[in-house]
Amino acid sequence: MASFPHLLRLDLRLQARSFLYPATAVSTGLICLFVALFPGDTLSPRVTAFFVFMDPATIGLSFVGAMVLAERTSGTLFALGVTPARPAAYIAAKVVSLTLLTFLSSVIVVQVATGGAYAVGLLLVALTLCSTVAVLLGLVCVAGVASMNHLVVRLLWVTTVLYLPLLAYFRVLPQPLTPLVTWIPSYAMLVAVEASVEPGSVSAIGMLAANLYLGAWMWVGWRWTVKRFRDAVITEGR
């Protein structure tokens, strides 16, 4: 992982050149606007968790795919393929850089939604897990994709599946069907974020189970992503 610091700096520069920061500022501003439109007494912890969840989901799934396609077009991936850089270092740089961006945008949303009444430590843990899982899923989606149209189709299917747990989370789905969607990691993301924005709204066991489940997804996602990029992206240039 000796090349990780170099790849992280490269990632940050690429994000700046790709206008990712203005795009994130706009999306964060729109979320904050929606939050501000809710009367103070109707913004429940579940609704707040949903607004916060949208940031890592958007940044991790959508932005990372566009970044990787831009790197492929510019020849960056080919250059990485003929250097000693390991796929793990490339993936870690993406995860860290986008998670840092998620921290900034999500904390702003939480600050607007709660007025500062949230558990900072729990929020950072939840955001780290949520952002990492989302970025890894986004990288898996873009691995082997040759065009933006192909990526959009993949993301459409993945996003549809990831948003299904919202029906269970907001108790719209009939109870007998709820267990069918709670295994999707986005449900655990929502629970982990809710536990941080409103301490006590989720039991300690529920919060621990959500974090452990996301940790398991992060481990599986890491191994899966490294394999996908070794097979479909990095080795493409070797």
Long-range contacts of 179-184 (CB under 8 A, 24+ apart): none
Return the pLDDT at 220. Answer: 93
Per-residue pLDDT tens digits of the chain, which is 238 residues long: 457 888 888 888 888 887 888 888 888 898 888 888 876 556 788 888 888 888 777 777 778 887 887 777 766 665 555 555 677 888 898 899 988 888 888 889 888 888 877 888 999 999 999 999 998 998 888 877 777 888 888 888 888 898 999 999 998 888 888 888 999 999 999 999 999 988 888 999 999 999 999 999 999 999 988 888 777 654 554 4
Return the pLDDT at 102. Answer: 86
User: Model pTM?
Assistant: 0.87
Give residue 98's Cα distance to chain centre: 8
AA identity, residue 47? V
Return the pLDDT at 238. Answer: 46
| Distance of alpha carbon 221 from alpha carbon 186, whole angstroms | 14
Could you tell me which residues come within 8 angstroms of residue 191 by beta carbon, excluding any fewer than 6 positions away?
49, 169, 202, 206, 207, 210
Return the pLDDT at 1. Answer: 47
